[in-house]
Structure 1
């Protein structure tokens, strides 16, 4: 095979030079396909990794529901406490609490925390969850340092209120972003500032809790504020025992609807459904990119088949002459396979350069990460194999040409 390849390399290049436009078009097609496919796969891997991120809560057994009062005598504070007591008393409910925003839902509160007071210091962005002393049990959070909230820490927040409680619990990621030079355990007891100069003491750190915005580059930054809200709408998040979510969702909805006729109960949704809705765009992007990759690869393969078939039909008498002079079917087959391998090699080398260039543009314009080192060699190998498989059919037809073809005049 090696000796044969060395002997045939000259005739192959001469044959390609006589049909260089078609060969260059196929090589360019392979290059563009590699460029797009490799970067598309990179984006898919990033999206799938984002979609698989742990939100930090017990999604499989959690749901939420909202209550909006409209009656003239509607007492928000009494209703909230009555609702939570009734929900927590239901068999199968692990815990429940009021919350101002739902993780990975797409909507919520955000603030900036500073390590020093004053407007001249930059803040670190964070999601804000207003919760009570049931937060660790309800969200299934792991406290890895410090102390949890106590009942005496919780206050009621009015809709127009702008000040903040004296203490907070933050995620490990937020603690590391605020104090990058310290171990997260050492952050407990330190003071941060909100609204430029209002101090808040960090009294605890939880391992993980994602913000509501799944596309945010600091989605792991979150703080827990010990307060219940007296806003127009109250949202309750409920965690059930494993396997009892579907049973308890309608029960909780009915309980709230029956207990107070002066309000509207709405927006009940499981966390699993919330995750699906929040990542719907990513799912659509994955489908679109997958379709584009498959289509491009098929079009490239068809182009290779077309070029090889054209080459075989144009050189039928030449192939017949070689067969009459003693060339075996295997040598004819290897000739066309080698010819295609040369074209594919030029294409994938050019495609590698285009892939790196496109990735640089994507990194600078869209904030994507750099290509994983292994994607290019895998992509190059895959497209070379696609080329060899695509040319196999026409090459077999060429090898099957009879030596008698050399004697024909047409």
Structure 2
């Protein structure tokens, strides 16, 4: 280490850079290992933070339904005397009259549940045209109120629009209600009022008229990139297995759930009630993988940051112990404690700079692999400079303790022979 003229602060860093570089070259293995550790830590942390932010945003997306006050269940009929159409009609009449219930419908699938139907909608007929992936919910005229969605343009289904869909049926009603997101995908830049009345095609050639457009409703698949592409079809399913979606008055959900399960189970001995679940529980189940990933990545980030900080502390402490006599000599020649602290802080900053620059390159490379292999989104550019700043700060905080220890070495140590 060399003596620094502390009376000329503007040139202090320039005077110290040379001695620091020479000192690092004498212990280049340790400095290189710390730089690599910083680079790897930055690569993993930046990509992890980006993934956590993306997953958190997905978990916070609104499904479009009244999740706090909604639940669903399944009715499974059995026996030769079980009439699915009669049972469904009776169940809906009962559910809609039940105290605390706002409305109820039979539905083929549940938003954000992970299982459902999908079809392709086209603006032109013919197998040569590509369809837009669309989630399908089969509902009756009470569907909008039960799902708590808002009609932005057009009109709702009427009671006379609802038809029974039999097993193996592949034809569709000639009316459809779609979400605003799907409308914009099919007819870009056109006002919603002009989209109402237009014809779309399902099964390549079957025409359906858009009679209404609703604000928002999510598909059953939370990881689908077209999650808000949804259509409502005016149908009941004539099947022995029926799923009912019930919306309750605020605060009445849990009580209604208990009443519904008991009363439906006793009202018809030729069926069983199963799969009762609230929308809140469904959301938790559907995003369980996201939650686990966030916890794992957060833990990895904490461990990596801690290990990197400890590595910096270890290298700095080793450097201080190796150069006690040199530090004492500097102190004897007039170097202040602040100058000693600055020396080690600058040394760490130089090591960290090499690490974060290399880390920026690795970060982009890893993100490209994640995008290609796992179809993740490309990393936003501002994550990299933020990551660099964070790792610089971690390095400076980690080295500050050993730097203070070095600054407290007494000048008299320079005169010792041992």
Normalising by structure 2, what TM-score?
Answer: 0.96
What residue in structure 2 maps to residue 152 of structure 1?
160
Pairing 1:256–2:233 present: no
User: 2:408 matched to which residue of 1?
Assistant: 400
For the residues of structure 2 that align with 1:135 and 1:331, how far apart are their CA atoms?
74
Report the counterpart of residue 165 of structure 1 in structure 2: 173
Alignment of 1:313-328 (within 5 A): 313-328=321-336
Q: 1:268 is paired with a residue of what secondary structure?
A: strand
2:6 aligns with: none
Q: Secondary structure of the equivalent of 2:137?
A: strand
Match of 2:248 among 229, 240, 251: 240
Deviating beyond 6 angstroms after TM superposition, the runs of 4 or more aligned structure 1 residues are none
Deviation track 1:114-149 (CA, whole Å, cap 9, x = no partner) reads 111111111111111010000111000011011100
Residue aligned with 1:365, SS? helix
1:42 equivalenced with 2:83 (yes/no): no
Which residue does 1:185 correspond to in 2?
193
SS at match of 1:36: helix
Q: Give distance in 1, aligned partners of 2:270 and 2:15.
A: 91
The 5 A counterparts of 1:7-406 are 7-406=15-414
Structure 1 CA distance, aligned partners of 2:171 and 2:360?
56
Give structure 1 stretches of 5+ with no counterpart.
Answer: none
Distance in 1, Cα, partners of 2:56 & 2:341: 42
Provide the rounded CA distance (Å) in 2 between the counterparts of 1:267 and 1:97: 16
Alignment RMSD (CA, Å) = 1.1
Cα shift readout 1:254-312 (whole Å, capped 9, x = no counterpart): 11011101101010000000000000000001011111111111111011011001100
Give the secondary-structure state (helix, strand or coil) at the position aligned to 1:203.
Answer: strand
| 2-structure distance, mates of 1:311, 1:184 | 69
Output the CA distance in 1 between the equivalents of 2:206 and 2:130.
14
Residue 160 of structure 1: SS of its match in structure 2?
Answer: coil
1:365 Cα deviation from its structure 2 partner: 2.8
Q: How far apart in 2 are the matches of 1:184 and 1:284? A: 40
Measured against aligned partners, the alpha-carbon deviations of 1:201-223 in whole angstroms (never above 9, x if no partner) come to: 11111111100000111010111
Q: Deviations over 1:17-64 (max 9, x none)?
A: 111111111111111111111111111111111111111110110000
CA shift, 1:363, in A, is 2.4
- Quote how far apart the aligned CAs of 1:102 are: 0.4
Bigger mean CA deviation after superposition, 48-57 or 175-184: 175-184
1:70-100 per-position Cα deviation (integer Å, ceiling 9, x unaligned): 1221111111111111111111110000000
What is the rounded CA distance, in whole Å, between the counterparts of 1:405 and 1:118 in structure 2? 90
Structure 2 segments unaligned to the other structure (5+ residues): 1-8
SS in 2 for 1:294: helix
Aligned-partner SS, 1:267: strand
Bigger shift: residues 240-249 or 173-182: 173-182
Distance 1:180 1:367 in 2: 25
Q: C-alpha deviations, 1:228-252, integer Å up to 9, x for none?
A: 0011210000000111111110001
**Whole-Å separation in 1 of the counterparts to 2:340 and 2:126:** 79
CA distance in 2 between counterparts of 1:160 and 1:31 reads: 58
- Taking the aligned partners of 1:364 and 1:162, their CA distance within structure 2 comes to 37
Deviation at 1:181, TM superposition (A): 4.5
Residue 362 (structure 1) shift: 2.2
SS in 1 for 2:228: coil
